Amino acid sequence: MGQKNLALVSGANGHLGNNLVRLLISKGIPVRASIRNIENKASLSGMDCEVVQADITDKASLAKALEGVEVFYAVGAAFKLWARDPQKEIYDVNLNGTRNMIEAAAEMGVKRIVYVSSVAALNYSKLPTKERYGYNPERRDMYYNSKNDGEQLAFRLADELGVELVAVLPSAMIGGDATLPLNVSYGVLKLILNKQIPVDTKITLNWIDVRDVAQGCYLAAQKGLPGERYILANEQCMSITHTTRLASRLYPELNLKVPGALPRFMLLGLAAMMELSAKFSGKAPLLTRKDIKIFSGLQQNFDIEKARTELGFNPGKPEQAVTSALAYLMEHQNLLQ
């Protein structure tokens, strides 16, 4: 006899997955946590949950993990903005992974899927951005493409296979418990504290506490309408430079320098040099020309009324999220190495 209300969280050793597992356990929900590499389960040690191996690129492993599951939190995905072969390492992984997750869930009789998409899948042409403005017409970034095409594929398959699917679209998640390697968003705060942001790029992020996003995922499972998408973000974005100012006020002893502005052509030149060195090192560059072209000056402001009214989503302010995330990094100096 299986457990009633059993939830599966895929990508459970990632930043959102891990904080979501903690939240569900605190609510008394039986949790099965799946991770790609069973060796990497340190972040789940001591938690009252079953840990299993499953890889989104391997449908059989997903089907096994989904046995007896009622709600599937499809969190696992390739979350990186740079790769040597972005088509293969980001786009294909996320698209095939989405197909495998939805098909396996349908085969195993899962009642509901909470599919974790991203604000990357929103149309920013009108601000503040709303869910109903459709998908992002920006096609220059493989991660963005994978989120736009993946979410649409998820809805289409869920519809064809008769599974309830609700999509949640988080913004830049920080705070909560974290382990190395830090996610992309937390990584920006790490760069700030380590004085590794040389210039003002005019890039903004919409900061959100990962624990608010975990709560939003749980609310989507409880109250979300099938076939609907919900933005899990804050209303206002903050520039990286503004974030640095906040950090320098909080930690004057670090003597953080607020980066100065450069003309766009110089930013592009700097980014080109960083990309070149990344080709040799195989490590993601701090900045790419694509980052400047797509994100410099882009305001990531959202209308979250739908998530507020239909789900009861109520996130803390971006400054709060940044303040608590910086405090966490300062307390866990090993994460700053």
Identify the structural domains of the chain with CATH numbers, from first to last.
Answer: 7-177+207-234+300-317 (3.40.50.720)
| β-strand partners of 73 | 9, 114
Asked whether the predicted pLDDT for residue 10 surpasses 90, the reply is: yes
303: part of which helix (H) or strand (E)? none
Q: What does the alpha-carbon distance between residue 138 and residue 37 come to, in Å, rounded to a whole number?
A: 33
As a whole number, the mean pLDDT across the chain is: 96
User: What is the model's pLDDT at position 2?
Assistant: 60
User: What is the model's pLDDT at position 297?
Assistant: 92
| Closest residue by Cα to residue 135 from 158, 155, 160, 159 | 155
User: What is the model's pLDDT at position 264?
Assistant: 93
Asked whether the predicted pLDDT for residue 81 surpasses 90, the reply is: no
Q: What does the alpha-carbon distance between residue 173 and residue 197 come to, in Å, rounded to a whole number?
A: 19
User: What is the model's pLDDT at position 3?
Assistant: 76
| β-strand partners of 116 | 168
Identify how many contiguous H helices and E strands the chain contains and give both numbers: 12, 11
Asked whether the predicted pLDDT for residue 69 surpasses 70, the reply is: yes
Q: Is 246 helix (H, G, I), strand (E, B) or coil?
A: helix
Q: What is the mean pLDDT of residues 58-74?
A: 98
Asked whether the predicted pLDDT for residue 194 surpasses 50, the reply is: yes
Q: What is the mean pLDDT of residues 47-60?
A: 97
Asked whether the predicted pLDDT for residue 307 surpasses 90, the reply is: yes
User: What is the model's pLDDT at position 270?
Assistant: 94
Q: What does the alpha-carbon distance between residue 153 and residue 335 come to, in Å, rounded to a whole number?
A: 36
The structure's pTM equals 0.96
Q: What is the mean pLDDT of residues 119-145?
A: 95
Pick 51 or 82 by higher pLDDT: 51
User: What is the model's pLDDT at position 1?
Assistant: 40
User: What is the model's pLDDT at position 44?
Assistant: 95
Beta strands in the chain, from DSSP E residues, in sequence order? 7-10, 31-35, 50-53, 71-74, 112-116, 164-170, 172-174, 204-205, 207-209, 229-232, 238-239
User: What is the model's pLDDT at position 36?
Assistant: 95
pLDDT tens across 201-250, in order? 999 999 999 999 999 999 999 999 999 999 999 999 999 999 999 999 99
**What are phi and psi for residue 195, nearest 5 degrees?**
55, 40
User: What is the model's pLDDT at position 121?
Assistant: 97
